[in-house]
Amino acid sequence: MNTFLMTLFLILIIIYGKNAKKINRIFIKDKGIIGEDIIALILSKLDNENYKVINDLFLKTNNITTQIDHVLISTYGIFIIETKNYSGIISGNDYSDKWNQNIYGKKYKFYNPVKQNYGHIKGLNSILQIDENLYIPIVVFMPKAELKTDSKNYVIYSYQLIDLITSFQETKFSIETINFIYENLISFNVTDEKIISEHISEINNKKNIYNTKIQNNICPKCNNALVIKKGKYGTFQGCSNYPKCRFTNKTKESNIINFK
């Protein structure tokens, strides 16, 4: 067991004592689910009167499916939490389509989680119809990642999450309202395995189309040709429709490791 997992294991023992079932559940799943379970455990420590947690919320509205890792409904706003259990150096900004993961010189790409959260807010608000300023989007990485991001949004480590959440102290909703919102979202939560399976297939299909276009020198954003260009940091693929389309790709072989 590496140092990170050992430290995590000891922390969980401190939090949950002898409840081995909860601890064991974390270590038998894949890394994406592990990250979500860790955040779910952290959120479970919040006061359950002022904070209502929904983990793995799956919504389908207007034939569009949305999966949200964690929704925290509180008297201080609605927190939308996207969890990323990645290691390595993480870089990106609010406006790029993809962020980068660098692990010992090997580079991978994943969909911009800030944009992901914006899509989650749109999905939630199609149901709730409230002021978007009442949503607080947060992207959470595990401590094994090294964040070198340029973002005006909340992009933090897991150990910073509770302090960030509890820093919001201005009351926005009554207890009755957060209970209503919670029950409303629970009623929309999709549990049909067929719909969830279709959602996963759709994600994989989008990823395959995206990668295939790049491999065939086609811009995945506007379908114009991709051309090789030279920049400050070497050669890259760029859209021939620049400046109308600013799509770029650092390497010809794009590896999208998360596209949900």
CATH number of the domain that residue 257 is part of:
2.20.25
C-alpha–C-alpha distance, residues 107 and 87, integer Å: 12
- Domain span at 247: 215-260
Residue 11, in any domain of the structure: no
C-alpha–C-alpha distance, residues 162 and 52, integer Å: 14
Predicted TM-score (pTM) of this structure: 0.68
Statement to judge: residues 86 and 65 lie in one domain: yes
Lowest mean pLDDT, pick from 6-10, 54-58, 100-104, 251-255? 251-255
Q: What pLDDT sits at residue 254?
A: 41
Residue 18, in any domain of the structure: no
Total domains in the chain come to 2
If you write DSSP's letter for every residue of 95-112 in order, what string do you get? S-SEEEEEETTEEEEEE-
C-alpha–C-alpha distance, residues 169 and 74, integer Å: 10
Residue 17, in any domain of the structure: no
Mean pLDDT rounded to a whole number for the chain: 82
- Alpha carbon separation from 259 to 22, 67, 112 (Å, rounded): 28, 11, 9
Q: What pLDDT sits at residue 8?
A: 56
Lowest mean pLDDT, pick from 31-35, 38-42, 99-103, 184-188? 31-35
